[in-house]
Amino acid sequence: MVYKVNVALGAIRTEYRKRFGIEASYRIKNHCRIRTTTKNPVVRLLFVALAFILVNVWITLLWAFVSATRRGGRRVYQDLFPLKTLLEFISQGVERLFPPKREIYSPKHASPKLRTFSARL
């Protein structure tokens, strides 16, 4: 319990708004975080950084193309372009550039012709 603290209500409100912004950004970041089982901290940090970059790109796109200026600030129409939609666009683009493999051949059990083909890849 706190007793006789002389803090202005405006200062408390400002601090809580900062904290809410930080927590909201981490919650949004978790929507586009790459899941991994690697223990390598460099790779994990790279994936977290990539998630934050994707969130910042999404916010920039929202601000530039899906918002309107009005009295008292900007109105952002987030429901017209949710983060999930951006992530699906990116996923489709990556799959077009790098199609998922449907078959995997084991060089040990493959015929000599397939082993030769696998070695060239």
Instruction: Enumerate the domain spans of the chain.
Output: 9-120
Give the residue, 111 or 100, on which the prediction is more confident. Answer: 100
* Contact of 99 with 86, CB cutoff 8 Å: no
- pLDDT for the residue numbered 110: 58
Q: In the prediction, which pLDDT does 86 show?
A: 93
Per-residue confidence band for 106, with pLDDT thresholds at 50, 70 and 90: low
Q: For residue 66, count CB atoms less than 10 angstroms from its CB and return exposed for 0-12, middle for 13-18, buried for 19 or more.
A: middle
Helix axes 41-65 and 9-29, enclosed angle (nearest 10): 110
pTM for the full predicted model = 0.63
- Rounded to the nearest 10 degrees, how much is the dihedral formed by the CA atoms of 21, 25, 28, 32? 170
Cβ neighbors of 72 (< 8 A, separation 6 or more) are none
| pLDDT higher than 60, residue 28 | yes
